[in-house]
Amino acid sequence: MGRKMTPTALKVVRGNPGKRPLNEHEPKPACAGAEDVPDWLSAEAQEHWPMIAQQLADAGVLTVIDRPALAQYCEAFVIWQQAYDKVLKFGLVVKAQSGFPVQSPFLSIANQQSDRMLRLLCEFGCTPASRARVTVSKPDGEDVFAKFVKKG
């Protein structure tokens, strides 16, 4: 499987340290808005979508082809939340049919969804380490510093 590919824009910014040929045909998808919630998401995931989508759109990392990955994150969040609520209700350890204590099956579900969410968040650059590896493509004409000038 190997290491993940470095985006071409990031290689250019770094001065192409490996001196390997650059991918001149790398896709440059259009930016997406946070308001475009997929109608096929569960109701709970549709409620979570605007919060995370707006943050990604503001950061300039949400594109139209990222919507399925973001939808997966939202669904994983909902499943994690439901499982975690059950862990809080029943505890980390439950009694098996045999009467012996065992780890709650809801804890396993919560942990799996937590791992899934973390992997997806890393793809969007939403963790401190992954954020350093993401390049942002803002729409043309958008001045990144304009919001700071307006405040002053």
Residue 74 has a pLDDT of 97
Least confident of 1-5, 101-105, 135-139: 135-139
* Structure confidence by residue, pLDDT tens digits, 53-97: 999 888 877 888 889 999 999 999 999 999 999 999 999 999 999
Q: Which H or E run contains 102?
A: strand 101-103
| CA-angle at 12, arms to 9 and 13, nearest 5° | 90
Q: Which tens digit of pLDDT belongs to each residue from 104-135? A: 999 999 999 999 999 999 888 788 777 666 66
Distance between CA atoms of 58 and 33, rounded to whole angstroms?
A: 9
Q: Are 42 and 28 in contact (CB under 8 A)?
A: no
Which residues 6+ apart lie within 8 Å of 93 measured at CB?
Answer: 101, 102, 103, 104
pLDDT over 60 at 147, yes or no: no
More reliable by pLDDT, 65 or 149:
65
Largest CA distance in the chain: 68
∠ at Cα 73 (65, 4), nearest 5°? Answer: 65
pTM over 0.85? The answer is no
